[in-house]
Each structure stands twice: as C-alpha cells, then as structure tokens.
C-alpha cells in the first residue's frame, strides 16, 4: 500500500566528514611478494567465471544503475592503480551490488567482485567502501584463492568452481554449514590465512592511497564491521580473519603513504546512500535465497524496491504496546511493530514491511491510522472520497463493493475490504479500511495492509487494534 505521507523512516547514516590528510614521506611502503601458485592466471579467470555465473543466479543482484555505476567507478579507480608487478592481462574486473542486508563483500578469482548493499549502507564515507573493495581487490591480484588451493593440493578446475560456489551459497544460507571436503575446499578461496589477510590489508592500503583514498578509512570500516557482529562473528570477519593488530598495521602503512589527488567530493556518495534509503529494506541473505527465491536475474526495474518474500516479515506479536498519539487517541498494536510517524497519520508496521518508493511511503504489513479532511457530513460519501484519493497513488486498488459496520471508540463507523497490488513486492495484498467521523467533521481512518496469503491472520490483528482505540477528540 502506498500512502500519501512522504517520509523516509530508515535512519540516514550520518556522513562523517573525513579529512584526507597526506601524512609523512613516501617510498617506504611495505614490499609484498606473491606466493607460490600452481594455477595459471587464465585458470583463475575460468574459475571466477564459473563461480560468478552461479553467484548471480543464486543471490539477488541490485539492478539499479545509479548505485551499481557508483560502486563500479570506485572499483575502476582502484583497478587503474594496481601496481604493475601485480597486473594480469587476463583478469577482467567487474563490480556488482548484492541486494542483501549483511555487511559483507567478496571477490572471485580473476576479477568479479560483489559488495553487499548492507556494506554500502553502513559505510560512513566513500573511502570506507573503497577500503573494503581495495582489500578484496588485493586478494584477487595477489591470486590468494588459487595460492591457498595450491597449498592444499592440486585440484581440477571444475572441482574448485563447485567448491567456491558451495562456500558462497551453501555456507551462507541459513547458517547451515555443509560438512565435507567440498565446503572445506571452498573455504580455501574465501577464508584466507592470516598471512594473506596481512598482505591484502597492506596492498589494499597502497592501492587506496594511489587512488586518492585515505587508507585509514579501511581500518575504520573494519571496526564498523566488528561492531556490527552482535552475537556472532560477521561473515566478512570470518572470511577475513584479523591477522593481529590489524588497525595498527593499516595505520602504520598509511604513515608511509602519500594520498595522491585526494578525493574530497562526497556528494555522489551521499546521493547514493539516500537512494538506497529510499528503497525497501534489503532482505537478509537467508531470506533472499530461501526456496531459491534469490534468483532475480530479471530483477525489479529502477526505483522499485526489491521484492521481499512475505516470510521475511515476522508475524504480529501476541503482546501489545499502547501508544498515546497527542491528545487525539490511544491505540494498542503488536509489540513487534515500529511506530512510524507521518504528517497527518501514523503507521505501525513490523521490521522489513515498510520503506519508500518513488518518494512515497509504502508498507506491506501493518496499520496506518490518520485523519483526512471530509467535505461532507455523510460518512459513506466521505469514505468513498477517501478511498478514491488512496486509489490515485495505488492504480490497482479495487473499489468497495459494499460496506459493513464497525465501531471505533464507541462510535459507529464503516468497514470495507479491498484488494491491491503492492508497489513494494508486486504481490496481491488485502487492504481493510475502517472509518468514522470525528467531532470536528474530519474523517478518522485506519488502513490495515497484509499480503493476500496472510490476510486472515492479519484480519484478527486489525480487529484487535480497532477494538483498542480510545478517542479523546
């Protein structure tokens, strides 16, 4: 359901102004020597190509030109300053954004790189995104994946590709870690040794400085990732273990480097984050890949929030929380619904069920309670007009065929059920509208929204919400 109040509820991430200081004198940077590798660079490319095809089938790629080009531009800025001794003519670098929530990124042998939307959303600066990308890029140019496989044993290329895919997809879905050699082998590509981590930190810092980014921003982002861990270790850190004194080592290397032509324009990054904030929240990887739903190779067009499977929204809690809204009314809603204030309305919706699309608020589960102007003292006519105004923003909204009675705060009102096509998911949804007239003649309304397949479950909740309303007008 798209509603009339405009507002982005998801908290904007404060963009910290970071002074890009050029520190110290140059040319003392740490020298990195590539490790032994039994594979050819062409084999890296083939391996990465096979794994990338599978990754893009399994994980939802964000199909948004503005965001993807911005990330790709950071990537190209880094690629052009790869030190000549680490360049491989066969490698083809590509950059994609995965529309999932976790703070993570990974790169495949030979060049394909994937940055989670959650990573970009949590970064405070473009430099922080560049830091993670420079680190990933360093693993690719140093050919750490195949170097680690070399240390293990010599495997056939086909086996390796399967293993890489297993590690990316299998190991990340539902937290179920597949046992057995295939997974163990796959981890060889994505779970790097501490020595390789140290190398990627140092080369990443060098590449950043040459590309105009302060290497210290890489350390800042790693700290954010660590803080995000909560109870478990974030995936990124388990794949890229701290080699010990990570921040200090990056800061130390930064002292040896001079940032070339520091990038100071932060507008592009701010605009991109605002764009992401305007989309429906990204699902978790588990939600995105559950039941093979992740394969959005033909994803949503620009500016349309990615579909989130209904299963990703928690059912209404049986406990309720009471809210007092000004001196107008009091209402109790399930405790797991967030309160989202608008201009003339307030929406209560569970996490993952609200966002904005095309500058308008959208919610897929929950209720909106508000006041609309009524040009008539006739409740029936006022309700018809109100629904017509809703239909202007929701072209697929059905019209009421009949009204039933309801009671809100002891006053007689009207109730009707409508169908709509959700702007957020493209799925059919059921809309319940309850209205009464207030003493000042305005229309007090409650809109309940739920996907069609969960309509009966939510119907009960809407009834309880309606029953709880106490009017104070």
Enumerate residues 88-117 that contact Zn ion by CB under 5 A: none
Number of residues that bind Zn ion (CB under 5 A): 4
- C-beta of 136 vs 384, nearer to Zn ion: 136
Q: Which residue is nearest to Zn ion (CB)?
A: 240
Strand partners, 361: 3, 356
Residue tagged 């520091």 (tokens)? 262
CA dihedral 340, 10, 101, 53 (to 10 degrees): 110
Show the tokens assigned to 161: 């590709």
Check if the beta carbon of residue 114 is closer than 8 Å to that of residue 172. no
What b-and-e string marks burial along 368-400, b requiring 16 or more CB atoms within 10 Å of the CB? bbbbbebeeeebeebbbbbbeebeebbeebbeb
| 94-98 and 112-116 beta bridge pairing | parallel
Show the tokens assigned to 80: 């052009």
Closest separation in Å from C-beta 232 to Zn ion: 18
Closest separation in Å from C-beta 44 to Zn ion: 16
How far is residue 239 from each of residues 97, 193, 246, 314, 409, measured CA to CA in Å?
19, 9, 15, 29, 56
- C-beta of 192 vs 337, nearer to Zn ion: 192
DSSP string, 20-68: ----S-SS-PPP--PPP-SS-HHHHHHHHHHHHHHHHHHS-B---HHHH
Closest separation in Å from C-beta 241 to Zn ion: 8
Q: Show the binding pattern over residues 154-193: x = contacts Zn ion (CB under 5 A), - = does not.
A: --------------------------------------x-
- C-beta of 155 vs 192, nearer to Zn ion: 192
140 binds Zn ion (CB under 5 A): no
Enumerate residues 46-65 that contact Zn ion by CB under 5 A: none
Q: Alpha carbon 187 to chain centroid distance?
A: 24
Closest separation in Å from C-beta 204 to Zn ion: 8
200 binds Zn ion (CB under 5 A): yes
Closest separation in Å from C-beta 316 to Zn ion: 42
Stretch that binds Zn ion, among 198-206, 314-322, 336-344, 368-376 (CB under 5 A): 198-206
316's CB contacts (< 8 A; 6+ apart) are: 334, 336, 337, 350, 457, 458, 461
205 binds Zn ion (CB under 5 A): no
- C-beta of 124 vs 240, nearer to Zn ion: 240
- C-beta of 195 vs 302, nearer to Zn ion: 195
- C-beta of 132 vs 367, nearer to Zn ion: 132
Closest separation in Å from C-beta 409 to Zn ion: 59
Enumerate residues 380-409 that contact Zn ion by CB under 5 A: none
Enumerate residues 206-265 that contact Zn ion by CB under 5 A: 240
- C-beta of 200 vs 272, nearer to Zn ion: 200
Residue tagged 């080699």 (tokens)? 243
Show the tokens assigned to 305: 């929030």
- C-beta of 47 vs 107, nearer to Zn ion: 107
DSSP string, 86-119: G--TT---EEEEE--SSS-EEE-TTSEEEEEHHH
* Length of the chain, in residues: 473
- C-beta of 142 vs 433, nearer to Zn ion: 142
Residues that bind Zn ion (CB under 5 A): 192, 197, 200, 240
């Amino acid at each position: 359901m798209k509603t009339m109040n405009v507002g982005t509820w998801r908290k904007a991430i404060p963009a910290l102004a970071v002074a890009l200081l050029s520190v110290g004198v140059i040319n003392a940077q740490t020298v990195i020597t590539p490790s032994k590798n039994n594979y050819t660079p062409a084999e890296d490319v083939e391996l990465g190509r096979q794994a990338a095809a599978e990754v893009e089938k399994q994980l939802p790629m964000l199909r948004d030109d503005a965001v993807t080009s911005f990330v790709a531009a950071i990537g190209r800025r880094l690629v052009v300053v790869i030190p000549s001794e680490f360049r491989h003519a066969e490698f083809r670098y590509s950059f994609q954004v995965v529309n999932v929530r976790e703070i993570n990124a990974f790169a495949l042998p030979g060049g394909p790189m994937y940055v989670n939307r959650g990573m970009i959303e949590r970064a405070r600066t473009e430099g922080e995104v560049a830091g993670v990308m420079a680190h990933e890029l360093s693993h690719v140019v140093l050919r750490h994946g195949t170097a680690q496989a070399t240390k293990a044993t010599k495997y056939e290329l086909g086996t390796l590709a399967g293993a890489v895919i297993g590690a990316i997809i299998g190991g990340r879905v539902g937290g179920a870690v597949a046992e057995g050699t295939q997974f163990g082998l796959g981890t060889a590509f994505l779970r790097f040794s501490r020595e390789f981590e140290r190398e990627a930190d140092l080369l990443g810092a060098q590449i950043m400085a040459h590309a105009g980014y302060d290497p210290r921003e890489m350390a800042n982002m790693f700290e954010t990732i660590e803080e995000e861990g909560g109870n478990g270790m974030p995936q990124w850190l388990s794949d890229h273990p701290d080699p010990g004194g990570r921040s200090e080592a990056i800061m130390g290397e930064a002292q040896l480097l001079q940032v070339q032509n520091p990038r100071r324009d932060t507008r592009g990054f701010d605009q991109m984050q605002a764009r992401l904030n305007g989309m429906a929240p990204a699902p978790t990887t588990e939600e995105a890949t559950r039941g093979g739903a992740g394969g959005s190779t033909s994803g949503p067009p620009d500016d349309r929030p990615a579909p989130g499977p209904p299963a990703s929204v928690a059912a209404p809690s049986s406990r309720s929380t009471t809210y007092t809204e000004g001196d107008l009314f009091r209402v109790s809603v399930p405790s797991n619904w967030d309160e989202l204030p608008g201009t003339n309305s307030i929406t209560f919706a569970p996490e993952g069920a609200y966002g904005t699309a095309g500058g308008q608020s959208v919610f897929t589960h929950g209720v909106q309670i508000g006041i609309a102007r009524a040009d008539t003292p006739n409740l029936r006519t006022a309700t018809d007009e109100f629904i017509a105004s809703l239909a202007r923003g929701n072209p697929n909204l059905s019209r009421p065929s009949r009204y039933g009675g309801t009671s809100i705060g002891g006053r007689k009102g009207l109730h009707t059920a409508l169908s709509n096509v959700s702007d957020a998911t493209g799925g059919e949804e059921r809309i319940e509208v309850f209205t009464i007239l207030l003493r000042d003649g305005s229309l007090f309304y409650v809109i309940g929204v739920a996907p069609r397949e969960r309509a009966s479950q939510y119907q009960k909740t809407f009834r309880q919400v309606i029953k709880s309303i106490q009017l104070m007008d």
